[in-house]
Amino acid sequence: MSAMPRRRKSRPFSRGGSPRKVSSSSEGERLQKVLAAAGLGSRRQCEELIRTGRVEVDRRVVTELGTRVDPTRQEIRVDGDLLRQPERLYFAVNKPSGVVSTNRDPAGRRRVIDLVPTRGHERLFSVGRLDLYSEGLILVTNDGELANRLTHPRYEVEKTYRVLVAGSPSREVLDQLRRGVHLAEGVARASRIEVKKQLKQSTVLEITLKEGKNREIRRILARVGHKVLRLLRISVGPIRLGKLPPGACRRLSRAEVDALWKAAR
């Protein structure tokens, strides 16, 4: 299907006599995003397709840009042609330090999506973020709905980190991290925290979070007086980093994807 499909004569209105908004809830993916992921052009071009009444969802013309859809369950047509959905892809990547999580980097640094071997036309993105110097497990997919559920605080999907910190945190400090530390955007707390190894001048902690505030672990530990020397994410929900080498990736199994959906419900 070409980037901007040829306009065909189609029904400008639904059977009810006017364009219909299919859904405005927080569930599903935005229609223009689904169209763009299917290769129909840029997000802006796909918005124009919707505005001009060229898109149907379940045989009803949609002109509302806020419409959310489930492309796996709903029939989407553009100029009467059934939209072909791209294959859903899911990868686990071991992000090395110095690699960026964002898809666009003006500095031209290596990106997480560059570590995933694809055919070149898939619109993949990282699920959540690991900052530049953090390492470990990050998921990569083209499934926007699952990505949203894995990162939204309401679903409380756990992420676990192995953290090397300067000094030796006291029991009182660990308790404070469990109770919560005040940051500019609210209270951040560790749902679980455990001392894994005590070294001469540093400590290895294992910390589990249910939220994803920006640089959360580095910031809460700095607030209690312990600088992070190394940060490695070892799990996202049921998916573990395991023995995946730095810079390597692997495709998730169907059972692993199902387990992620279960964790995000």
Please state whether 180 falls in left (phi above 0), alpha (psi between -120 and 50) or beta: left
Q: Quick one: tokens of 35?
A: 């169209």
Nearest residue to 69 via CA among 53, 57, 84: 57
Per the listing, tokens 């169907």 go with 254
Among residues 105, 131, 175, 258, the one annotated as catalytic is 131
209 neighbors 216 (Cβ within 8 angstroms): yes
**What is the CA 120 to chain-centroid distance, rounded?**
20
Q: Are 5 and 78 in contact (CB under 8 A)?
A: yes
Per the annotation, the verdict on 131 as an active-site residue is yes
Rounded CA-CA distance 56/82 in Å is 9
User: Count of CB atoms within 10 A of residue 255's CB?
Assistant: 9
The span from the CA of 134 to the CA of 212, in Å, is 14
The CA distance from 38 to 228, in Å, is 41
Q: Quick one: 91 exposed, middle or buried, by C-beta within 10 A (0-12, 13-18, 19+)?
A: buried
Distance, in Å, from the CA atom of 92 to the CA atom of 239, rounded to the nearest integer, reads 8
As a whole number of angstroms, the distance between CA 135 and CA 125 comes to 17
- Sequence-separated (6 or more) residues with CB below 8 Å from residue 176: 224
Residues identified as active-site? 131
